[in-house]
Structure 1
Amino acid sequence: MKLPAIKGFDQEALLKYFKNTGMLLIGKVGSLGIKMLTNIAVANYLLSYGNGILTTSIAYVFLFAALAGLGLDQFIVKELHQFPQKRDQILGTAFGLKAFAGFMCIPLISLAWLIYPLEDIQYQFILLLSFVGVFQSFTVIDSYFQSEVKSKYIMQVQIIGNLVSAAIKIILIYTNSPISYFFFAFLFDTVLLSIGYIITYSRKNRSILNWRFEKTLAKKLFSLSWPLIISGIMVSVYMKIDQIMLKQILGAKGTAEAGAYATVVNFSEALNFVPVAIVSSLFPAILNARRDDKERYQKRLQNLYDLMVWLSLSFAIFITFASPFIYSYFKPEFADAAPVLSVHVWGSAFIFLGVASGQYLIAENFGRLTFIRTGIGAVVNIILNIILIPRMGMMGTAIATVIAYFVSAFFILFIPKLRQQGIMMLKSLFLVTAFQKIFKR
């Protein structure tokens, strides 16, 4: 179908970006379905206490994941988009930075454990999981395919990797394996994806052996990304600190509640990949609009915010009513988590908008402001957790999380340079732009 000619509109580019986004979503949805079924099986096998041990350990290590990633992903895409001929230098430099950060995280996690250990969790489990950051360095290949708008290759790797991962965990369940085996399985998930990335990249005469590290480029990337490193750490804090605080504040009871709460987070944040996939795929088009037509640039941003709201609200409404049905597949000891899921899922609207507005900050070189908004969100979440967890348990944690997501997303309203974007987000959230489009017809 041929769309009518519009100034500055490129139908071929639209179809390319749409196809790429579709491939990303197909891959993620396929992986999501596999993960959901596997997580239910694992939770029912380990029960709430054992699941609390496993998921709290993962959350503890995840707090350091942002440091290992260095906030480079979007800047890698941007650099590859602008300088495709420097592919090997950009990927080699980014990989070198990420690998170094991943190795540095291992002693850092151990030091953190010595200062603040978690009860009931063995140190060797934490040490094993700390190697995840090293293997995640190969996600630079994901950024390369995003810059080429060829995410179907990454989709294939992710689906195959998740199928193998699910098979391994099901085997562990049917062989009555101890919980320690599931820690090895989690680390192997990352190793498997890295191998898949390398094999996929090696096609068509590409090779990681051609990657080169450049000091000048490394300084440039680090100078651009350091605010996002801090921002990523803050995001990790207010997305994962809940489970750790729930366990520590409630003591022995907290381990079981943390295990139940982990199932809530798995379902509530199940579609968090959607805004990332859409925005990552459309980011080159947004950059082109910024360069060529400022008015079209703003319209694309408003349309992006509208899309984020419609998707997130649809998901939140569905999960709110479906939560009792979802938990009918869990063992009875998880039943108290159903109402918590109905509350926690409403934070997705603010997550979706936060991801979209984050791309605007990068495009306008306001990246340094990202760690301020996420830092505020992290502080709000920690304070509310301290107040609400002793009174309301995991329901208090869910309420604290939703409020923190809201504060983080809309803190830009208090920054004059960004206030207009905040107003645009509010218009989308309260469906103002949707009604405007309806009444204009």
Structure 2
Amino acid sequence: MSLLKREAIKAVSSLWLATLAGAGLAFITQAILARLLLPEAYGVFSSSLSFVMLFVPLAGFGVAQFWLKAFGQEGWAARRWLSGSMRFISYSTGLVFCGLIAWAMVGPHNQLTTLVLCLLAFHVLAQVILELVSSRLQLEERFLSLAMWQLFPHLSRFLLVAALALFLSKNVNVVLGSLMYAAVAVLMIPVGYYMLKPMFNRTFCLVGHENYTNVFNGERKNWKTVINLSWPFGLAAFAHLIYYQSDIVLLKYLDSDTSAGIYNIAFLVISAIYLLPGVIYQKYFLPKIHRWSIQEPARVRELFEQGNIAMLFLGLIFLIGIWITADWMVSILFGDHYAQAAFILKILSFSVPFMFVAFSSGAVLVTQNNMKLKVKLMILVALLNISLNLVLIPLYGMVGAATATIISNALLALLYFITAKRLVIKN
């Protein structure tokens, strides 16, 4: 397999450009809020949003990712999982939403943080819908539609926040900003419902399998059976967010809202960079990897070997680029209030090559029955990250959080690479 096939480049390019546009809009939206709010108020918003995002994987609990595996391996017969999946998602999402509201009410928060958390809890609904529809579009290999769908919430939030800045710039506060995020979340529910309907009425086009036949390989599966197979994906996503962005939440509770706000600026830049390997492996190659693991295993090995080299090279390029541009980029985009974020960004840049390799090596660990092992590795790294943060943040603040991130990402990349090479590629 050649990774430079014209069709692959076209699909990845469209996904990357649209995802980059979405990231740019999200970036600008956050920059507008950061400029309108002081670091302390922005810290309340960013840490609350990060806290809510930590629990998004527990709402969907891996169902969207499980759909990719089930349809990739079973073809049309995987429709037997749909009704049970939707029932389970309604239970899990409702439980997470109510849990977030309860924590906002009883946690160690002032009135402002409580209100912001309650509003941002609606963001969970938007993310669950976003992931489910994305899985449908990935299965159909409608990559341009996928890119547009993922752009939609970012564009909506940008327009609402930009309108606030234009018409109410002197009166904008963190509550209004949070309200805009909640409004977009509510809007996505009916839109997502409309886009998911084809999966249930047989009008969606599953790529890589024969045309639909009204035959199921076994009975329809209930929601309890769905849990047994989807939980590794949900737990993996939860563990990923723990070592990926729990730093911001812990900075709020162990240091200050101001530190959380400044650190989040650096985190936004790093997150935008990680979109490149994310698009390549999680959006474009993931459905194919599930299919290849059954039909053409040799392609998985070739993807692993070529991908690791390419990702390491790209990661080093981004590391150098961050060191060259960090100071003036933070100053221009976010203002002098956040000047400290440039130094934190330079520290975090050392984790970029590790994470790029982790995306590549980790992608092949979702195949066959290796997902549970991948989850164990992620939980190990997540526990290490939390432990390091609990020790380093009280001593070194933002620098301690950044150091914990680098160590965690380096270990993750090493574990993924060794495990994938030993278990998946050699077999």
Q: Same fold (TM over 0.5)?
A: yes
Question: 1:308 — aligned with what?
Answer: 311
CA distance 1:157–1:413, change in 2 (3 Å) = closer
Which runs of 5 or more residues in structure 1 are unaligned?
Answer: 1-8, 425-441
| Contact 1:268–1:345 (8 Å) recurs in 2 | yes
Offset at residue 98 of structure 1 (A): 2.2
| Contact 1:198–1:208 (8 Å) recurs in 2 | no
Distance 2:253 2:286 in 1: 40
Among 143, 147, 162, the alignment partner of 1:155 is 147
1:58 aligns with 2:49: yes
Distance 1:305 1:217 in 2: 39
1:273 aligns with 2:275: yes
Question: 1:85 — aligned with what?
Answer: 76
Offset at residue 75 of structure 1 (A): 2.0
Among 55, 64, 71, the alignment partner of 2:62 is 71
CA distance 1:371–1:271, change in 2 (3 Å) = same
| Contact 2:125–2:185 (8 Å) recurs in 1 | no
Distance 2:415 2:2 in 1: 35
| Contact 1:286–1:297 (8 Å) recurs in 2 | yes
The letter of the residue matching 1:229 is G
Distance 1:29 1:413 in 2: 27
Question: 1:169 — aligned with what?
Answer: 161
Q: SS of 2:108's equivalent?
A: coil
Among 160, 174, 177, the alignment partner of 1:179 is 174
- Point out the more displaced range, 102-111 or 143-152: 102-111
CA distance 1:134–1:161, change in 2 (3 Å) = closer
TM-score by length of 2: 0.84
Offset at residue 216 of structure 1 (A): 1.6
Question: 2:216 — aligned with what?
Answer: none
1:20 aligns with 2:25: no
Offset at residue 74 of structure 1 (A): 2.5
1:45 aligns with 2:43: no
CA distance 1:372–1:185, change in 2 (3 Å) = same
Q: SS of 1:117's equivalent?
A: coil
Per-residue CA distance 1:325-360 (angstroms, 9 max, x = gap): 111222222111101001113323333332333332
Distance 2:154 2:9 in 1: 24
Higher RCO structure (Cα 8 Å, ≥6 apart): 2
Question: 1:430 — aligned with what?
Answer: none
Offset at residue 169 of structure 1 (A): 0.1
Distance 1:169 1:307 in 2: 37
The letter of the residue matching 2:321 is F
TM-score by length of 1: 0.82
Distance 2:236 2:156 in 1: 33
Give percent identity, aligned residues only. 22
The alignment yields a C-alpha RMSD, in angstroms, of: 3.0
Per-residue CA distance 1:298-335 (angstroms, 9 max, x = gap): 12211122232233222222122111111122222211
The letter of the residue matching 2:154 is N
| Contact 2:43–2:257 (8 Å) recurs in 1 | yes
| Contact 1:319–1:342 (8 Å) recurs in 2 | yes
Which runs of 5 or more residues in structure 2 are unaligned?
Answer: 204-218
| Contact 1:410–1:422 (8 Å) recurs in 2 | no
Per-residue CA distance 1:213-246 (angstroms, 9 max, x = gap): x862644432222223222222222223211221
Question: 1:5 — aligned with what?
Answer: none
Per-residue CA distance 1:83-124 (angstroms, 9 max, x = gap): 443575544443332232110102322444466434574323
Offset at residue 200 of structure 1 (A): 5.0
1:352 aligns with 2:352: no
Per-residue CA distance 1:2-27 (angstroms, 9 max, x = gap): xxxxxxx699x954443332221121
Q: SS of 1:149's equivalent?
A: coil
The letter of the residue matching 2:173 is P
Offset at residue 388 of structure 1 (A): 2.1
Among 239, 248, 272, the alignment partner of 1:234 is 239
| Contact 1:354–1:408 (8 Å) recurs in 2 | yes
Per-residue CA distance 1:268-316 (angstroms, 9 max, x = gap): 1113232222113123433444345544431221112223223322222
Alignment map for 1:271-420 (pairs within 5 Å): 271-279=273-281, 280-329=283-332, 330-412=334-416, 418=420, 420=422
